[in-house]
Structure 1
């Protein structure tokens, strides 16, 4: 869990993903199109990725992507998409300093 906490504290936007996940790619594209530059730890490729995956599971997420904005857990694809549709996603990104426009 410490590794996840450290990772999300280092950047305003973190998207945990797996290289094989097309939904992760869609969320990365969505958030990047707002002008963000997310940290994207790929759980298949990083050292101790399996350990981080287990920590995310303890937070209630057994699938990727898992998105943190401003060190706060936003959630997975459903929560990010809902936030976008409701109009709360961009203000959240601004408050965290992940985007500036």
Structure 2
């Protein structure tokens, strides 16, 4: 899906790691939410509360998920993050992403 219809967008950005990672929250009528974001090259560790689906729209990165080996991800690919976990990304090129929060 290349666009979302009939959504509410939170104007204030979520800014992390000194501005190297930023996103905007999108809320859907069914109560679900996603973030659309952008990451500059660097290494970042995130913590999750709920399970997430990370779709990499464009860019290249390596991700280290709990209990797994590093894996390479590029634009058009995705990965799942379990609830209550930490995961690390080594972003190789500027990367555009969509994060879906799974409840």
Tell me whether the two structures share a fold, i.e. TM-score over 0.5. no
Higher helix share: 1
**Which of the pair has more CA radius of gyration?**
2
Q: Identify which of structures 1 and 2 has the higher relative contact order when contacts are C-alpha pairs closer than 8 Å and 6+ apart.
A: 1
Q: Normalising by the residue count of structure 1, what TM-score does the alignment of the two structures yield?
A: 0.29
Higher strand share: 2
Q: Normalising by the residue count of structure 2, what TM-score does the alignment of the two structures yield?
A: 0.28
